[in-house]
A and B are shown apart, each in its own frame.
Chain A
Amino acid sequence: MIVLDHVAKTFVTRGGEQVAAISDVSLEVRRNEFVCLVGASGCGKSTLLRLVAGLVAPTGGRVSIGGATVTEPRDDTGIVFQAPTLLPWASILDNVLFPLDMMRKLDASGRARARDLLALVGLSGFESKYPRELSGGMQQRAGICRALVHDPDILLMDEPFGALDALTREELTIELMRIWQERPKTILFVTHSIPEAVLLADRVVVMSARPGRVAEIIDVELPRPRDFDMEARSEFQDATRRTRELIFGGRSARAN
């Protein structure tokens, strides 16, 4: 479905300095697969997501979806940004409807869908409120609804639960898995939380920093449907330990 073929992205800063955010990343995400990206801060996770979203162009290699090279944002992709990025002048409902409106696909069924999504994340009753009247976590939930409103085949999520409290986070994790099981999609999910990644993912992609590359891909063998009780299982423990070793192992070895 999503194929990254030796993808590299080098930014040129204002001062003319070159920053290699990603170098030589090859990755294949199957249709309806749930893949989590973990890695240290600044290792290029957001950049990778932007590349798949068609928001930035690679400086090397090729990104393709369903065989077609990605050159610009696509209709069948939804993205949740690291920050909520809601429009301050639009109501929550209008914010959620924004992608449909921009794609000129706004109709009654879209509105109904937006309301359903808002109810799903516990935001019914807030449709006509403005973003500033909502807490940061509530704004982020509205941002998730916005990414889902046009029912995309591909969902790109950049630390969507990062700003949420632990309780809401668990709730939404379960909710996201339910949505994914009901309406299968290909999900690329960036997170800082290793347990979250292992619980959600079919495969966890561990990235190394400077420049960002794929260090290893870990298969998670846990059965579906999953819940938080599975954190006690040995498969879960093994996968989190392995991921942790990959991210911190090298560093602590060097410190010795």
Chain B
Amino acid sequence: MAAAPEPIKKRRHARLAADIAQPVAALIIFVILWELICRAFHVPAYLVPAPSAIWTDTLKLAGPVAVHTLATTQTVLLGFLASLIVSLPLAVLITASPTIANTVYPLLVLTQSIPKVALAPILVVILGSNELPRVVVTFLVAFFPLVLSIAAGITAVPPELIELGRACRASKWRELWRIRLPYAVPFIFSGLKAAITLSVVGAVVGEFVNADRGLGYLIVTSTAFFQVPLAWGALVLLSLLGIILFQAVVIVEQVFFPWAIDSDKQTI
């Protein structure tokens, strides 16, 4: 029995390698095609720069670009964290009673119907020209789907499990911690995956409106000065950032909640 996990692990690694190899190969082919088309048709760099131009122009400013990337990462993470910290109790509150749900839901929908891009400058006026309005915009963009999926998870618990809790005389509080929230973990993670992607969008929106650094800021300033390859470089970095953070969430789920993945896979 002790020997059993080894081959399974190996198979898992092999599957993982295949999962990664295919998209990477597709990406490389795509970049090569892009480069060839740009050269063959002499596409001007201010319209669509070739990958090589993006690479060299971005690398030339590697130091400042790194600072911008870190600034954006910080905003994304702070906004993401804020949405997690707010969403969890909010979802618990909403699912606690229909009265609370009926009062809180309309307010939530209201915050969602406000266009965040329009709200951003107003937030700057209220909160000042600093990191805070950017984090708040990021939070506002990211938290809503998270609340919905956590609430869905908490209420999706099969009645048999709730009955088991009652038969074991679990208090409402313990029922929440020991039955409802664990059951909701796969739901929470699908919400977190949506939230981390949206956090990147939110951070860039915040930086467009008010920032002195960050990749969103870099895109605005470099296009203003016709440094188009640099703007594209920032764009590529943003998508990389999104992919890496998304994968980080996936890995956290795999490492700490392996049973949640398995039950996920079964439903697909």
| Chain A interface residues toward B at CB < 8 A | 53, 55, 72-75, 77, 79, 81, 83, 85, 87-89, 98-99, 101-103, 125, 130, 132
Contact = CB atoms under 8 A, between A and B. Distances in A.
A83 B1 CA distance: 29
Contacts of B163: 55, 81, 85
Leading 4 A-B pairs by shortest Cβ distance: A102-B168, A99-B168, A85-B160, A102-B170
**Candidate in B163, B185, B263 with the most chain A CB atoms within 10 angstroms:** B163
B178 interface: yes
Contacts of A132: 259, 262-263
Given A88-B259, A102-B178, A83 B169 contact: no
B159 to A, nearest CB: 10
Contacts of A101: 178
Given A85-B160, A99-B168, 8 more contacts: A72-B169, A73-B166, A81-B164, A85-B164, A87-B164, A99-B167, A102-B168, A102-B178
28 contacts: A53-B167, A55-B163, A72-B169, A73-B166, A73-B167, A74-B169, A77-B167, A79-B167, A81-B163, A81-B164, A83-B160, A85-B160, A85-B164, A87-B164, A87-B182, A89-B182, A89-B257, A89-B260, A98-B164, A98-B168, A99-B168, A101-B178, A102-B169, A102-B178, A103-B168, A125-B1, A132-B259, A132-B263
Contacts of A99: 167-168
A72 B171 CA distance: 12
Q: Is the interface of A mostly helix, strand, loop or mixed?
A: loop
Nearest to B165: A102
Interface in B6-49: none
Interface in B243-268: 257, 259-260, 262-263
Contacts of B165: 102
A87 B169 contact: no
A135 B263 CA distance: 16
Nearest to A79: B167
Interface residues of B, number: 23
A9 to B, nearest CB: 15
B72 to A, nearest CB: 35
Given A55-B167, A99-B168, A102-B178, A81 B259 contact: no
B174 interface: yes
Contacts, number: 52
B170 to A, nearest CB: 4
Nearest to A75: B169
Contacts of A98: 164, 168
Contact of A55 (B161, B166, B178, B260): B166
Interface in B132-165: 158, 160-161, 163-165
Contacts of A102: 165, 168-170, 174, 178
A74 B167 CA distance: 8
Contacts of A79: 167
A81 B263 contact: no
Contact of B169 (A73, A88, A89, A125): A73
B179 interface: yes
A87 B161 contact: yes
Contacts of B164: 81, 85, 87, 98
Nearest to B259: A89
Nearest to A103: B169
Contacts of A81: 160, 163-164
A101 B164 CA distance: 13
Nearest to A147: B167
A98 B169 CA distance: 11
Given A98-B168, A102-B169, A87 B179 contact: yes
Nearest to B185: A89
A130 B170 contact: no
Contacts of B182: 87, 89
Contacts of B174: 102
Contacts of A83: 160
Given A102-B174, A102-B178, A88 B263 contact: yes
**Candidate in B164, B165, B174 with the most chain A CB atoms within 10 angstroms:** B164
A92 B170 CA distance: 19
Nearest to B175: A102
B226 to A, nearest CB: 55
Interface string B164-207: 11111110001000110011010000000000000000000000
**Candidate in B160, B164, B165, B167 with the most chain A CB atoms within 10 angstroms:** B167
A104 to B, nearest CB: 9
B201 to A, nearest CB: 32
A92 B167 CA distance: 18
Contacts of A77: 167
